[in-house]
Amino acid sequence: MKKNLSLLALTGTLALGAFVGFELSERTSAQVTGTLPATTTSAPATSGTSATAEASRARTQSETNTVQVVKARQGGVVYVEVTDRGGDSSPQAQLRRDLQERFGFELPQQGPQESAGSGFFVNAQGDILTNNHVVEGADEITIRLHGSTQTYAAKVVGRAPDFDLALIRAEGLPAGTVRPIPLGQTEGLEVGLKAIALGAPFGLEFSVSEGIISSLERTVPVGAKGVEQNVIQTDAAINPGNSGGPLLDSAGQVIGVNTQILTGGIGQSAGVGFAVPVDTVRRLLPQLQRGGEVQTPTLGLGFRDVASFTAEEREGAGLPEQGALVLQVYPGSPAERAGLRGSTAPAGQGEQPVPGGDVITAVDGQPLEDAADLPRAVIGKQIGDTLRLTVQRDGQLREVTVPLQAFALPQGRQ
C-alpha cells in the first residue's frame, strides 16, 4: 500500500509555474520579527562562563533561529498511524476487483496493512492537516503528540483528494495539548530562503531537517487526478513518513505541506522534495472543515498538445502553433453540453493530426502556451464556476463558455 509518501520517477518531466517574490534584504526581519522570541547576543565571555554558554554563543544566527523554530513548533506536529484492514473500499480491494474484471484473477487476501505519516494542528479546535494519501482507505487512525506515548483515535473530517490534503480530528485530547502552527503565505517567499521540514521519516517520530526553498516555479502531478499543480521545491530532506508534515519558514509559519519526493529509484530523499503551497491550504481549509470530500470540476474531454506535432504536421492540418487539440468529448460531460467537438479519429502520440477537432487556444483570455495549463485551470475553479474558452474550429475563432460540474470519466480514463 502506497501510503507514506508519493514518489515521482526521476525521469518525470517538470514544467514551470510562477510565484511572487520580494526583496532578499527582507529575509530576516519579515520572517522572524514578531513571531518567535528575538535572538539575544551574549555578553563577552568571562572566566566563569559555563561550557553551555560558550556553546550557545558559538551558534550561528541561522542555527539559533532553527532551534527557536523547532522548540516553538514541535508541539504542534503529530505522528499519524493508519491501519487498513482491506475493506471493500480500500485500495487493495479496488485493485483486486479491477484485476478480476480485467484478467479473470484476483490477488490473495492480505492481513491488515499499517503505515505512518505526519500531520499538524491548524486551529485551537484540534483540527489536524495531513496528506490525503496518508489516510486514504484507513479503517483506523491514531495519533500521538510530541513527547507522549499516549495514542488517541482520530477520524477523517474532510478530504481533498485532488490536492492530496485531508483534515482529521482526534478524540479526547487533554486540554492544553493542542498547539496550532500558524499558516504563512506564499507571497514574499523567495528561492534561497530557509525551509524546515518536521515529521516522521521512516517512522522516526518528530524528526527535523533543514534546507532552502529550491524553486517556486515547479509543477508536478498532485492528487487523485494527477493534474500538474504548483508546488514548493525544497532540498530539506523529505522521506517516507514525512508526508503531511509542515514545511516551515524561519518565522515558524507553515509555507507548505510535505507531499512528494523525486527519487532515483531508491525510495528515499535525493534532495528534491515538494510541498503543497500554503495558499492552497488556506483556500481549501474552510471546505475541509465543513466535512465530506472537496470535489473539483472536470471538462470531460481528451486532448493532445498541439506543440507535440511537427511544424509541417501542424501546417498540413491547419493547426495553430500552440493549444490543446480536442481528441474526444465524453457523452454527458460539461464539454459536450457546451458544444465542444472532438476529432473524427484519435491522434495518439507519434500519430498524424486528424481534422475535425476543436483547438482550445486560450482559457479565460489567457493564451494556452502549454496544453497542461488546461486541466490546471479547471482544477483551480469550483463547481458552478464557468470557464471561457477560445476555440479554433474550421480555421475560425469562437468563444465557448463552459459551466463547470463534477464529472466522472469512464473507467480507465481517470
Which residues are identified as catalytic?
Answer: 133, 164, 243
Closest CA to 373 of 228, 174, 203: 228
Is 202:240 a contact under the CB 8 Å cutoff?
Answer: yes
Question: E strands, 354-408, where?
Answer: 359-363, 366-367, 386-393, 396-403
Query: Which residues lie across from 389 on neighbouring strands?
Result: 363, 400
Counted residue by residue, the chain has a size of: 414
Is 115:142 a contact under the CB 8 Å cutoff?
Answer: no
Chain-centre distance for alpha carbon 5: 11
Is 151:214 a contact under the CB 8 Å cutoff?
Answer: no
Which helix (H) or strand (E) element contains residue 358?
A: none
Closest CA to 80 of 240, 223, 196: 240
- Measured distance CA(201)–CA(192) in Å, rounded: 23
Is 272:261 a contact under the CB 8 Å cutoff?
Answer: yes
Cell numbers 518565522 correspond to 251
289 three-state secondary structure: helix
- Measured distance CA(203)–CA(254) in Å, rounded: 22
Closest CA to 289 of 157, 130, 178: 157
- List phi, psi (to 5°) of 285: -55, -45
- Measured distance CA(120)–CA(143) in Å, rounded: 10
Query: Which residues lie across from 243 on neighbouring strands?
Result: none
Query: Which residues lie across from 230 on neighbouring strands?
Result: 219
Tell me which DSSP letter residue 25 carries.
Answer: G
